[in-house]
Amino acid sequence: MKVPHTKSGFMDVCACVIFDGKNIHLGLSSAFEPPKKIVDLIHNKGMNMSDACLEAGLTTNTKLGSSEGLIGILTRGRMNRLAYTAQAVMTALIHLENANLFEVDK
């Protein structure tokens, strides 16, 4: 997503949408800024993040998106893509599990 005042102009965030049959519950992970070279490859060459990381020489893993992800590379293993995605799921569950606190007056 576009974020002003970042070096690349963008930050990566994972979104989770849960539909319970009646309501939509949204959650986001923490965000991080990818290197500008990665952002440029995504926007200018239409690459996905995994292919952009391969092209930029950040990895040789052709299945980066199914393993540690760019977040794993940039955090030097302190966070991986699974944990990053889990954050979005956990924050989406806030609304689902506490629906009484998020009722909308009509």
Q: Which residues of 23-34 are buried (b: 16+ CB within 10 A; e: fewer)?
A: eebebebeeebb
7, 33 in Cβ contact below 8 A? yes
Domain locations in the chain? 12-100
Q: Is the pLDDT of residue 105 over 70?
A: no
pLDDT at position 103: 78
Convert the pLDDT of each residue in 14-72 to its tens digit: 999 999 999 999 999 999 999 999 999 999 999 999 999 999 999 999 999 999 999 99
Say yes or no to pLDDT of 104 above 80: no
pLDDT for residue 102: 83
> Candidates 3.40.50.150, 3.30.930.10, 3.40.190.170, 3.90.950.10; correct CATH number of 12-100?
3.90.950.10
- Chain segment 74-95, per-residue pLDDT in tens: 999 999 999 999 999 999 999 9
Among 80, 72, 94, smallest CA distance to 27 is for: 94
